Chain A
Amino acid sequence: MKNKFVLGFVMISFVVMLSSCAKVPQAELDALTAAIEDARAAGADVFLPVEFAALQDSMNAINTMVEEQKGKLFGNFKAVSGKIAELTATATTVKDNVEARKVEVKDEIDNLMVEVSTLVGEAKGLVAKAPRGKEGAAAVEAIKTEIGVVETAISEAAGKLESGDLMGTLDQLKAAKEKVTAITTELTDVIAKYKGR
């Protein structure tokens, strides 16, 4: 009877030893996945693409480590747990940085929107002042349509902003600024050319 008990005990210990060497930190893994998804949803892939790519690569590495340990006879998830905690913290930081970058971009957009609109107003003022003589007037007529395109770009940018496409808005406004600045220069030249005659 006693021997049977010892045998049973040894067998159970052996099975326990094989099957429950260590536990996968599933809750931490789920939390990490959620943190990376949060960063992505916040726009990390758009606003901080390099940092987000690093997060993805680290996540892949952690998954590999987890499966490596799962595949071992005596898996040990201690090191993985440490990495998971580290990466979860990094993902949260990336998300926070994205939010901060968004605020910066929004500020930049607001400033540019005002700046470009002011420049368009200035360009229109110059059109009104521009001389109606010889080549000058022909150039002014052409410039009017160019100002129209810049105005369209501003409205398009406003539409993009409404739909949440901050980077698209920023790029479009920057291009509009460049264009309207060129127009202002051209108009100033036309005025100067005419005055010189």
Chain B
Amino acid sequence: MGHSIRGKRKKWSFLAVIVLLLLAVSIYVYNRWPESPVLEMKAAGNTVALARDAGADKYAPDLFRETCKLYDSAMVYWKTENKRFFLNRDYQKTLSYARQTGETGMKAYEKARKKAGSVHHTTAETLAELEKIMEDFKQVYGSLPLPKKLRENFNQAAMIISEAKLAREKGDFHIAEAKLEKAEKMVMEAEKKARKMIDDYFVSLPQWTSMAEEAVNRSAAQHSTVVIVDKMARKCRIYKSGKQAAEFDAEFGPNWMTQKMRKGDQATPEGLYTIVQKKEKRRTIYYKALLINYPNNEDRIRYQRNIADGKVSARHDIGGSIEIHGHGGRGFDWTNGCVALSNKDMDVIFSMVSENTPVVIVGSVEPFEKYLKNAKKKQNGE
């Protein structure tokens, strides 16, 4: 009996030891169980979502990419550590990446918020500015013979601006911004090239103005008639005794913004000429015509120089048969280098000039800015 009680006691004691041992192990495990970085990872995830909602992927793409990378790294380390035996788990790297995610994500959020707030206005401003530049460009260079490529680039820019406008309407301000930036570059480039073309053209302005002034003074001194053709103003003016007696709209060759160099270049020559023949009826196909002495000596010298400089091929003829003739009034430049007037105006000029009347053809008699001012005034009906 005593042996049985002792045996039971021994057994219970043994079980109690086991239970206590288990309890001790449980307490040990509980105390040593590493704390998972749940809150930090949740906060990091929320920051990613917050930044994305603020449009950081569009307005702060670099920072947002960095944020996502940091978050992914934190997640990878978290997963890796969770696979280890609990005593070996170390969440320090996970925590570090989660904190970095939060910091970078907030930077991305702030930057995106600022950008999103301003891009609405900046794109509206840029759009308005560009539309104004486009309108001015059309007004300034619209009637000038710009190179085809330049005009195409300009129209391409107009198309991109339309796309930017649509992107704005859709609320895709970052797309609108990128498109406007591209369009602005194209417009500025076109503007620069067109401006250079004008500047190059107007280099000869002092020479043109003195040619025109001298002709008018001579007309005054000799009480004679002179014809002055102003290509930029698209005018043909008659001076009698130094006073302007008539003014007509004129049309030229499509390539009028350059000195004539050879036959077929569709340029209208610049220089001092005289009327060598008055033609009408069957002698001209253009109603009435005043043949001038192109090429004169100066034209021939320039032509030879251009051949020597390689600017003109020797195979090309210098050209000729430059006239002031009728069939004009079409509103665009269509001749092969001649000056075209309407038949009605041709009747008037025909009666005012004679053979040997001097004809001065110049690029312009006033600076481009003045020409622009006058063109604007005319457009506004002032």
Main secondary structure, interface of B, reads helix
Complex contacts, B82 vs chain A, CB 8 Å: 67, 70-71
Min C-beta distance of B44 to chain A, whole Å: 9
- Residues of chain A with a CB closer than 8 A to B25's CB: 14
Partner among B38, B142, B159, B329 whose Cβ is within 8 Å of the Cβ of A142: B142
As a 0/1 sequence over residues 111 to 133 of chain A, the CB contacts with chain B under 8 angstroms (1 = contact) are 00000000000000000000011
- Majority secondary structure, A binding face: helix
Taking a contact as CB atoms under 8 Å apart, the answer to whether B331 and A132 are in contact is yes
A60 at the interface (CB under 8 A from B): yes
Partner of B22, one of A10, A73, A153, A176: A10
Residues of A within 8 A of B75 (CB): 60, 63, 67
Shortest CB-to-CB span from A66 to chain B, Å, is 9
Complex interface: stretch among A76-84, A99-107, A167-175: A167-175
The 8 A CB mask of A130-163 against B (1 = contact, 0 = none) is 0011111111111001101110110000000000
Q: Say yes or no: B329 contacts A134, CB within 8 Å.
A: yes
Q: Mark B47-62, 1 if CB is under 8 A from A, else 0.
A: 0110011000000000
Q: Which residues of B are found within 8 Å of A137, using beta-carbon distances?
A: 330-332
| B29 within 8 A of partner (CB) | yes
Q: Whole-angstrom distance between the alpha carbons of A145 and B89 in the complex?
A: 70
- Tell me if B79 counts as interface (CB < 8 A to partner A): yes
Known: A3-B14, A72-B36. A148 touches B71 (CB 8 A): no
* Given contact pairs A68-B36, A174-B166, A176-B159, A10 touches B18 in the complex (Cβ within 8 A): yes
Q: Is A178 an interface residue (CB 8 A)?
A: yes
- List, in ascending order, chain A residues with CB within 8 A of B305's CB: none
The yes or no answer to B162 lying at the interface (CB within 8 A) is: yes
**Is the beta-carbon distance between A175 and B163 smaller than 8 angstroms?**
yes
User: Which of A140, A150, A171 is the one whose CB lies under 8 Å from B167?
Assistant: A171
List of A residues within 8 angstroms of B156 by Cβ: 149, 152
Given contacts A137-B332, A175-B163, contact A61 B45 (CB under 8 A): yes
Would you call A86 an interface residue if the criterion is a C-beta within 8 Å of the partner chain's C-beta atoms? Answer: no
Q: For the complex, is B42 an interface residue (Cβ under 8 Å from A)?
A: yes
CB of A73 within 8 A of CB of B30, answer: yes
Contact A14 B41 (CB under 8 A): no
23 cross-chain CB contacts under 8 A: A6-B18, A10-B18, A14-B25, A53-B53, A57-B45, A57-B52, A60-B48, A60-B71, A71-B36, A71-B38, A71-B89, A73-B33, A133-B329, A133-B330, A134-B329, A135-B331, A139-B142, A149-B155, A153-B159, A171-B163, A172-B163, A175-B160, A175-B162
